Amino acid sequence: MNFLTKTQTSYLPSVFPGTLSNIKMVASGPKEGKVFGSLPLTCTVTGAPLDSPRYDWNYVRLAPTGELQFLAWIYPFGNNTGYAPPFQSRATISADKAKKKVSLQLHALTAIDTATYFCARQHTIKSMEAEAAQKVGGLLW
């Protein structure tokens, strides 16, 4: 199976209006080539706490056909994980808060796993809902 890992840099609005927070995610693992058995991927996160209630951390892949596929997510703040149905039985996502790393192991590889793999962060709805509730509560009292 051939594959390639990528690096992603994202800029997020910080909690202070008008400023930006640089969150960088650097993917590591085998860069390109044939892999058999399992595929280990790791992203190192800088610029944001890994266990922030604001973010989920995700793995996605881009197939040679151009199809973007979601694989798994982890929410280290609440120790929650989730997997896309096709990957539930053969993917394992984990987070090492101390090392600021999010890892994915994809097992039982086949030719269909040929893809470019990415790690990504996502704002959680939970934190946005909590902030909105606090703002509304402040207006009501």
How many CB atoms are located within 10 Å of the residue 53 CB? Answer: 13
What count of residues does the chain have? Answer: 141
**Residue 53 — pLDDT band, cuts 50, 70, 90?**
confident
Give pLDDT tens digits for 8-17.
434 333 333 3
- Decide: helix, strand or coil at residue 68: strand
Q: Which pLDDT does position 20 carry in this prediction? A: 39
Residue of 94, 88, 120 whose CA lies nearest to 107: 88
Quick one: average pLDDT of 8-31?
48
Does residue 36 carry a pLDDT above 90? Answer: no
Give pLDDT tens digits for 59-113.
999 999 999 999 999 998 888 999 999 999 999 999 999 999 999 999 998 888 8
Instruction: Count the alpha carbons within 13 Å of 27 in the hemisphere toward its beta carbon.
Output: 25
Tell me which fold the domain 3-140 belongs to: Immunoglobulin-like (2.60.40)
Cβ atoms 70, 58 nearer than 8 A: yes
Quick one: average pLDDT of 9-30?
48
**Does the predicted TM-score (pTM) go above 0.75?**
no
